Amino acid sequence: MRVVSLVPSLTEAVAATLPGVLVGATDWCTHPAGLDVPRVGGSKYPDLDRVLALRPDLVLLNVEENRRADADALVAAGVPVRVTYPRTVTEALTELAELLAALGATEEPAWLNAARRAWADPPRCDPIRRAVVPVWRRPWVVLGSDTFAGDVLRRLGVENRYAGHPERYPRPDLAELRGKQPDLVVLPDEPYRFTAGDGPEAFPHTPCALLSGRHLTWYGPSLAEAPAVLAAQLARPVTAPSPE
């Protein structure tokens, strides 16, 4: 089996479980550290000629991270694809187990068992925090309904103020975000890299939790440590003063 992964979290899952299977990955596949496989460009705009040159038996994609046009082009070229789309932690754990079994794993890896245990009883905010969760700015984009990251936060005791929105990624303006009067603003470091100096200043006097985007949005080995990592970060928000 020769697999090319166009999804960073799946790259990590396959490399950690069946390292000899992976023959290509994107430039954004940063885990595991030191991964030595040919790179095929970005997730959104991979170099399909380079993908095909690797003679894959299967290419891994995700509905949100990859374009339908690339999936169709690979299929037209005779390359099988497997497209993932988990929107809950439970779905992610199930899809990972099914994928690894399909690739030849004879048993679930230790990291997947650890992830199941970690999410069976994760730490929770007490009291529940009502939050808005920007994932981009200029323009502002937030988590809406039916997202994997939203389910992760819900399980940790964070109530997304946009969870009932008809869109999965609404684009409210800043005035609307502030008008939600959140107890907390959750700022992950991907896809937009929010930092202590870039993000909290837009929400003066409101606690802002800076989270690891990998632990919030990736579904792979990071799921095993995500509850503890994210809970610790949620417990240490920063607060920006009002602008002078």
Kindly report, residue by residue over 69-113, the tens digit of the pLDDT. 999 999 999 999 999 999 999 999 999 999 999 999 999 999 999
Domains along the chain?
Answer: 3-104 (3.40.50.1980), 125-234 (3.40.50.1980)
Are 211 and 235 within 8 A, CB to CB? no
pLDDT tens digits, 149-199 = 999 999 999 999 999 999 999 999 999 999 999 999 999 999 999 999 999
Q: Is the overall model pTM greater than 0.75, yes or no?
A: yes
Torsion over CA: 26, 28, 31, 32 (sign)? positive
Are 60 and 84 within 8 A, CB to CB? yes
Are 111 and 139 within 8 A, CB to CB? no
Q: Is the peptide bond before 109 cis (omega within 30 degrees of 0)?
A: no
Q: What share of the chain is helix, strand, coil (3-state, %, to 5)?
A: 35, 20, 50
Residue 175 burial class via C-beta count within 10 angstroms: exposed 0-12, middle 13-18, buried 19 and up: exposed
pLDDT tens digits, 26-71 = 999 999 999 999 999 999 999 999 999 999 999 999 999 999 999 9
Percent of the chain predicted with pLDDT > 70:
99
CA R_g for the chain: 19
Number of CB atoms found within 10 A of residue 161's CB: 21
SS3 66: coil
